Amino acid sequence: MTRAGDYLDLVRAPASLTVLGDALVGALSARGPGGDGAMRAGALAASSVCLYSAGMALNDWADADLDAVERPERPIPSGRISRARALAVGAGLTAVGVGSAFAAGRSSGLVSLALAGALWAYDLVFKPTAAGPVVMALCRGLDVMLGAAGPSWRRALLPAGAVAVHTVAVTAVSRGEVEGSTRATGRAAVVASVAVAASGLAGGGDRAAAALGGARYLAAVLPGHLAVARDPGASQARDATRAGIRAVVPLQSALAGRAGSAVAALALLGVEVVGRVLGRRRSRGDIT
């Protein structure tokens, strides 16, 4: 009998906390603190979580045969959720996510359609190809632009690019979770992380909040990438991937500080703490 916990495992629920700040950073970067109302912010946060969770369900649906060999504990190969039901969850969450974005505004809704298309394309087509990390990065960049959609959206291009570059690095490292990565990949990820952290200090805003978020980001992501650069084994790649997924939250904090909102920056650091606590308490599965 399928339980609620099995669905949460399917969509890697703790990892959904990592997308809450994407649209917020986009909105803050485009229009500054107070530029958007609470209702719009809530609708976009819901859209981001639904679309991210849809991507996780579709990932398991597409990888069911591979997971039967490499990750038999996952919901589909373990028999806790059928493959057809996983596809239905992915499709349903996609529809809800797009609907939530349109509730926030037509421009955000149009971006959500592009994001949904990129998510489905990644899971169904591009994930095993050389273009996989780039398409995944496009997804996260579009998630930031989901919040920026509307007046002054171009101001959010740098934050969207920073999140995208971080995502490329983490996704490239994640490809070594089973058979190991390479030292070159680890070194490239280190360089990318340092450059991404520096982007938080580019421009005005609250530089103290941006520096705090950037320092926390480097503390979260660099040890894992440095470990892969030294020893690119599968366990190091998996640990680095897990840390990299969560590290996007302090990166969002740095970018919120860059946009002038110390309150949002501190709130996002609080979200990171909650995510780490939930990660320690998970009973099965993983966020990678």
For 209-238, write each residue's pLDDT tens digit: 999 999 999 999 999 999 999 999 999 999
Tokens of 137: 């990065």
Q: Which of 108, 115, 112, 142 is nearest to 37 (CA)?
A: 108
Tokens of 67: 């997971």
At 18 the pLDDT is 93
CA distance 247 to 263: 19
CA distance 130 to 141: 19
Low-confidence ranges of the chain (pLDDT < 70): 1, 280-288
Q: Which amino acid is at 168?
A: V
CA angle in degrees (0–180, nearest 5) for 66-72-77: 75
Confirm if 148 and 27 have CB atoms less than 8 A apart: yes
At 62 the pLDDT is 93
The HSE-up count of residue 2 (CA atoms within 13 Å, CB side) is 15
- Per domain, the residue ranges of the chain are 16-281
Distance, first Cα to last Cα, the chain? 25
Cβ of 84: how many Cβ atoms within 10 Å?
10
At 283 the pLDDT is 45
Predicted TM-score (pTM) of this structure: 0.93
Q: Which of 245, 220, 216, 204 is nearest to 28 (CA)?
A: 204
The CATH number that domain 16-281 falls under is 1.10.357.140
CA distance 78 to 69: 11
